[in-house]
Protein backbone atom coordinates (compact mmCIF):
# COMPACT_ATOMS: atom_id res chain seq x y z
CA UNK A 1 0.00 0.00 0.00
CA UNK A 2 1.21 3.49 -0.84
CA UNK A 3 0.31 5.40 2.32
CA UNK A 4 0.95 8.79 0.67
CA UNK A 5 -1.61 8.05 -2.05
CA UNK A 6 -4.05 6.80 0.59
CA UNK A 7 -3.67 10.02 2.60
CA UNK A 8 -4.25 12.13 -0.51
CA UNK A 9 -7.33 10.07 -1.43
CA UNK A 10 -8.70 10.39 2.10
CA UNK A 11 -8.17 14.15 2.08
CA UNK A 12 -10.01 14.36 -1.26
CA UNK A 13 -12.96 12.32 0.09
CA UNK A 14 -13.22 14.32 3.32
CA UNK A 15 -12.87 17.59 1.42
CA UNK A 16 -15.77 16.60 -0.84
CA UNK A 17 -17.85 15.70 2.24
CA UNK A 18 -16.95 19.01 3.89
CA UNK A 19 -17.87 20.94 0.75
CA UNK A 20 -21.31 19.23 0.70
CA UNK A 21 -21.92 20.15 4.35
CA UNK A 22 -20.87 23.77 3.86
CA UNK A 23 -23.06 23.99 0.74
CA UNK A 24 -26.00 22.69 2.81
CA UNK A 25 -25.94 25.84 4.92
CA UNK A 26 -28.88 27.93 3.67
CA UNK A 27 -27.95 31.16 1.91
CA UNK A 28 -30.14 33.08 4.34
CA UNK A 29 -28.83 31.34 7.48
CA UNK A 30 -28.26 33.51 10.54
CA UNK A 31 -24.51 33.08 11.12
CA UNK A 32 -24.96 34.51 14.63
CA UNK A 33 -27.32 31.67 15.64
CA UNK A 34 -26.11 29.24 18.29
CA UNK A 35 -27.98 26.30 19.80
CA UNK A 36 -26.70 26.98 23.33
CA UNK A 37 -24.83 29.76 25.08
CA UNK A 38 -21.76 27.49 25.39
CA UNK A 39 -21.88 26.51 21.71
CA UNK A 40 -20.11 28.26 18.86
CA UNK A 41 -22.18 30.50 16.65
CA UNK A 42 -23.04 28.98 13.28
CA UNK A 43 -20.63 31.29 11.45
CA UNK A 44 -17.75 30.56 13.80
CA UNK A 45 -18.33 26.81 13.47
CA UNK A 46 -18.58 26.97 9.67
CA UNK A 47 -15.36 28.99 9.58
CA UNK A 48 -13.64 26.54 11.92
CA UNK A 49 -14.65 23.61 9.70
CA UNK A 50 -13.28 25.43 6.66
CA UNK A 51 -10.07 26.41 8.44
CA UNK A 52 -9.47 22.89 9.77
CA UNK A 53 -9.75 21.51 6.22
CA UNK A 54 -7.65 24.41 4.95
CA UNK A 55 -5.30 26.61 6.98
CA UNK A 56 -4.85 24.13 9.82
CA UNK A 57 -4.01 21.37 7.33
CA UNK A 58 -1.62 23.70 5.48
CA UNK A 59 0.17 24.75 8.69
CA UNK A 60 0.57 21.11 9.65
CA UNK A 61 2.10 20.22 6.30
CA UNK A 62 4.33 23.24 5.75
CA UNK A 63 5.55 24.25 9.19
CA UNK A 64 7.34 22.47 12.00
CA UNK A 65 6.00 24.77 14.68
CA UNK A 66 3.04 27.07 15.04
CA UNK A 67 3.30 29.81 17.63
CA UNK A 68 -0.31 30.80 18.08
CA UNK A 69 -1.60 34.14 19.27
CA UNK A 70 -5.18 35.46 19.29
CA UNK A 71 -4.56 37.71 16.26
CA UNK A 72 -4.16 34.55 14.16
CA UNK A 73 -7.85 33.67 14.51
CA UNK A 74 -9.69 34.06 11.23
CA UNK A 75 -12.61 36.43 11.11
CA UNK A 76 -15.90 34.58 11.31
CA UNK A 77 -17.56 34.41 7.89
CA UNK A 78 -20.75 36.42 7.56
CA UNK A 79 -22.54 34.14 5.12
CA UNK A 80 -22.42 30.88 3.19
CA UNK A 81 -20.70 32.31 0.12
CA UNK A 82 -17.93 33.81 2.21
CA UNK A 83 -17.22 30.49 3.94
CA UNK A 84 -17.33 28.58 0.63
CA UNK A 85 -14.93 31.03 -1.02
CA UNK A 86 -12.54 30.74 1.92
CA UNK A 87 -12.81 26.96 1.86
CA UNK A 88 -12.02 26.66 -1.87
CA UNK A 89 -9.06 29.04 -1.60
CA UNK A 90 -7.59 27.14 1.34
CA UNK A 91 -8.11 23.67 -0.17
CA UNK A 92 -6.31 24.81 -3.34
CA UNK A 93 -3.30 25.69 -1.17
CA UNK A 94 -3.33 22.41 0.77
CA UNK A 95 -3.39 20.01 -2.18
CA UNK A 96 0.14 20.72 -3.53
CA UNK A 97 1.57 20.76 0.00
CA UNK A 98 0.02 17.37 0.71
CA UNK A 99 1.29 15.97 -2.60
CA UNK A 100 4.82 17.12 -1.68
CA UNK A 101 4.93 15.19 1.61
CA UNK A 102 7.47 12.40 2.04
CA UNK A 103 7.88 9.68 4.65
CA UNK A 104 10.65 11.72 6.25
CA UNK A 105 8.42 14.79 6.46
CA UNK A 106 5.57 12.76 7.96
CA UNK A 107 7.97 11.48 10.63
CA UNK A 108 9.24 14.95 11.51
CA UNK A 109 8.11 16.76 14.64
CA UNK A 110 5.36 19.37 14.76
CA UNK A 111 4.66 21.67 17.67
CA UNK A 112 1.77 23.93 18.52
CA UNK A 113 2.69 26.51 21.11
CA UNK A 114 0.74 29.33 22.72
CA UNK A 115 2.93 31.56 24.84
CA UNK A 116 4.86 29.33 27.23
CA UNK A 117 2.43 26.43 26.84
CA UNK A 118 2.95 23.57 24.37
CA UNK A 119 -0.41 22.14 23.33
CA UNK A 120 0.74 19.69 20.68
CA UNK A 121 4.16 18.05 20.29
CA UNK A 122 3.99 15.04 17.97
CA UNK A 123 4.89 13.77 14.52
CA UNK A 124 3.33 15.53 11.54
CA UNK A 125 1.58 12.28 10.68
CA UNK A 126 -0.04 12.03 14.13
CA UNK A 127 -1.01 15.69 14.04
CA UNK A 128 -2.50 15.19 10.56
CA UNK A 129 -4.54 12.16 11.67
CA UNK A 130 -5.76 13.61 14.97
CA UNK A 131 -5.82 17.39 14.64
CA UNK A 132 -6.63 17.70 10.96
CA UNK A 133 -8.66 14.70 9.76
CA UNK A 134 -10.35 13.52 12.97
CA UNK A 135 -10.86 17.08 14.18
CA UNK A 136 -12.42 17.97 10.82
CA UNK A 137 -14.87 15.06 10.94
CA UNK A 138 -15.83 15.97 14.51
CA UNK A 139 -16.67 19.60 13.76
CA UNK A 140 -18.25 18.81 10.40
CA UNK A 141 -20.60 16.44 12.24
CA UNK A 142 -21.30 19.17 14.76
CA UNK A 143 -22.25 21.43 11.85
CA UNK A 144 -24.65 18.72 10.67
CA UNK A 145 -26.35 18.77 14.07
CA UNK A 146 -26.70 22.56 13.83
CA UNK A 147 -28.34 22.20 10.42
CA UNK A 148 -30.69 19.52 11.73
CA UNK A 149 -31.65 21.76 14.65
CA UNK A 150 -32.47 24.46 12.10
CA UNK A 151 -34.66 21.90 10.31
CA UNK A 152 -32.45 21.89 7.22
CA UNK A 153 -31.55 18.93 5.04
CA UNK A 154 -28.30 17.10 5.79
CA UNK A 155 -26.21 15.73 2.93
CA UNK A 156 -24.95 12.17 3.19
CA UNK A 157 -21.27 11.73 3.90
CA UNK A 158 -20.63 8.01 4.41
CA UNK A 159 -23.78 6.94 2.63
CA UNK A 160 -27.16 8.61 2.21
CA UNK A 161 -28.65 10.73 4.96
CA UNK A 162 -32.24 10.40 6.13
CA UNK A 163 -33.01 13.36 3.87
CA UNK A 164 -31.79 11.49 0.79
CA UNK A 165 -33.70 8.26 1.33
pLDDT tens digits, 148-161: 999 999 999 999 99
Q: What is the pLDDT of residues 79-122, one digit of tens each?
A: 999 999 999 999 999 999 999 999 999 999 999 999 999 999 99
Give me the CATH number covering residue 99: 1.20.120.450
Q: For residues 25 and 79, what is the distance between their CA atoms, to the nearest angstrom?
A: 9
Evaluate if residue 24 carries a pLDDT over 90: yes
What range does the domain containing 13 cover?
3-160
Is residue 73 very low, low, confident or very high in pLDDT (cuts 50, 70, 90)?
Answer: confident
The verdict on residue 81 lying in a domain is: yes
What kind and span of H or E run contains 68? strand 65-68
- Contact indicator for 7, 128 with CB cutoff of 8 Å: yes
The verdict on residue 117 lying in a domain is: yes
pLDDT reported for residue 1: 82
Cα dihedral 41, 46, 49, 53 sign: negative
Single pTM value for the model: 0.94
Q: Helices (H), strands (E): how many in the chain?
A: 7, 3
Q: For residues 22 and 75, what is the distance between their CA atoms, to the nearest angstrom?
A: 17
Strands (E), 97-136: 109-114, 117-123
Query: Hey, is 135 helix, strand or coil?
Result: helix
Residues 6+ apart with CB under 8 A from 25: 42, 46, 80, 83, 143, 147, 152
Number of domains in the chain: 1
Tell me the mean pLDDT in the region 56-61: 97
The verdict on residue 165 lying in a domain is: no
Amino acid sequence: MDIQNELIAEYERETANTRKMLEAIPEDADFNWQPHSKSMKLGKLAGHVSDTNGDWALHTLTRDRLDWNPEMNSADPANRQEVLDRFEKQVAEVKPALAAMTAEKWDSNWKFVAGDQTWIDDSKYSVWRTWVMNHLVHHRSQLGVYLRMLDKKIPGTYGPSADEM
